[in-house]
Amino acid sequence: MGLLVQGQWQDQWYDTEVSKGEFVRQASAFRNWITVSGDAGPTGEGGFKAEKGRYHLYVSLACPWAHRTLIFRVLKGLEDYIGVTVVDPLMGEHGWVFQQEAAADENTYGYQYLHQLYSRVDPAITSRVTVPLLWDKQQQTIVSNESSEIIRMFNSAFNHLTGNTVDYYPEAQRAEIDAWNDAIYPAVNNGVYRAGFATTQQAYEQAYTQLFAMLDKLEQHLATHRYLVGAVISEADWRIFTTLVRFDAVYFGHFKTNQQRIADYPNLSAYVRDLYQQPGVAATVDMQHIKQHYYRSHGTINPTGIVPLGQEHDFMQPHDRALLSKRSSE
């Protein structure tokens, strides 16, 4: 784990001293958008027109933020349009490392480490080196390293090429989706990290309390709604899914978010199974990769690197939520 400082890699853990033991996630540095015309999107520069085979994703299968982009790539039928390189599950002193098999992959440019792609773009860069990373092969530069924006691009920028017009961020539901995202990001998506990476009791307890208050609220909401904004799946569901699917296997133990498991919430657990069982999604979940990464990469939290055996998680059990679709649309 580390970061680039003026183009040089420095191996260091998150500095929580400056924030009273709290883990504060830094804003992503690259915020350009792929668009239909190539004109600039809501942030960043223009010049990134949607084209088949031009863009490439670098992901870890362990990372919940990267996982969102993999799910949208599948749901939007973008497999033939956007390539993927998966990094090694372990994130050690050099940060994310390309797997041996990726050495032959032209998209790794002969590099060993993901940080080399960042410094290829700017040899004097100061930045964290994170996944997901969306790369433009034509200009050999980074489009974006912000998952919430990458999924929005995938949701709409390639529709005219793929013919897939399924919309996970429909105009009419945007305010509701945004409201869920704004509540879920700090308490749940980033909340598990705020609990796990806290270095004071107080910071941990605060994150823990907010997290379970939000999970209780979601449990209640999902008793009468099949999905967060009603009868159809939206972006808000996929954003929380990648955190929930890792929860019992990793966060509960490793990040000490152990008031209860997702399996102990009847509605939330059935909801996770419902999402997991959507076509193409199960293949994006690699529980071994996920467990190996967390338990073996965070030496400050789990110095022995032992990966707990735990239970098998069978997300293919029936979810019995189809009836709610009707009720939530009434």
Ligand X SMILES: N[C@@H](CCC(=O)N[C@@H](CS)C(=O)NCC(=O)O)C(=O)O
- The smaller minimum CB distance to ligand X, of residues 31 and 49, is found at 31
Task: Tell me if residue 4 falls in helix, strand or coil.
Answer: strand
Pairing between strand 133-136 and 127-128? unpaired
19 is in an annotated binding site: no
Query: Residue 213 CB, nearest distance to ligand X (Å)?
Result: 23
Tokens of 270: 């059935």
147 is in an annotated binding site: yes
Task: Tell me if residue 96 falls in helix, strand or coil.
Answer: strand
Footprint on residues 4-33 left by ligand X (CB under 6 A): 28
- The smaller minimum CB distance to ligand X, of residues 62 and 281, is found at 62
Contact 98, 166 (CB under 8 A): no
Is 193 marked active-site?
yes
Catalytic-labelled residue, pool 58, 118, 168, 193: 193
- The smaller minimum CB distance to ligand X, of residues 108 and 147, is found at 147
Contact 256, 50 (CB under 8 A): no
Question: How far is residue 80's CA from residue 158's CA, in Å, rounded to a whole number?
Answer: 12
130 is in an annotated binding site: yes
Look at residues 248, 245, 228, 224 and name the one whose alpha carbon lies nearest to residue 236.
Answer: 228
Which residue's structure tokens are 């945004």?
A: 178
Query: Residue 74 CB, nearest distance to ligand X (Å)?
Result: 18
Query: Residue 183 CB, nearest distance to ligand X (Å)?
Result: 17
196 makes contact with ligand X (CB under 6 A): no
Footprint on residues 146-175 left by ligand X (CB under 6 A): 146-148
Question: How far is residue 63's CA from residue 169's CA, in Å, rounded to a whole number?
Answer: 22
- The smaller minimum CB distance to ligand X, of residues 133 and 222, is found at 133
- The smaller minimum CB distance to ligand X, of residues 215 and 290, is found at 290
Pairing between strand 133-136 and 55-59? antiparallel
Select the residue interacting with ligand X from 63, 207, 218, 249 (CB under 6 A): 63
Give the number of other Cβ atoms within 10 Å of residue 205's Cβ.
12
Give the number of other Cβ atoms within 10 Å of residue 316's Cβ.
10
Query: Residue 28 CB, nearest distance to ligand X (Å)?
Result: 5
161 exposure class (CB count in 10 Å sphere: 0-12, 13-18, 19+)? middle
128 is in an annotated binding site: yes
Catalytic-labelled residue, pool 55, 63, 227, 294: 63
Contact 61, 91 (CB under 8 A): no
Map residues 108-147 to x or -, x wherever contact with ligand X holds by CB under 6 A.
--------------------xxxxx------------xxx
Map residues 64-83 to x or -, x wherever contact with ligand X holds by CB under 6 A.
-x------------------
Q: Which residues contact 170 (CB under 8 A, 6 or more apart)?
A: 234
Query: Residue 286 CB, nearest distance to ligand X (Å)?
Result: 14
Contact 59, 226 (CB under 8 A): no
Active site residues: 63, 193
The annotated binding site is made up of: 96, 128-131, 146-147
What residue ranges bind ligand X (CB under 6 A)?
1, 28, 63, 65, 128-132, 145-148
The annotated binding site for glutathione is made up of: 96, 128-131, 146-147
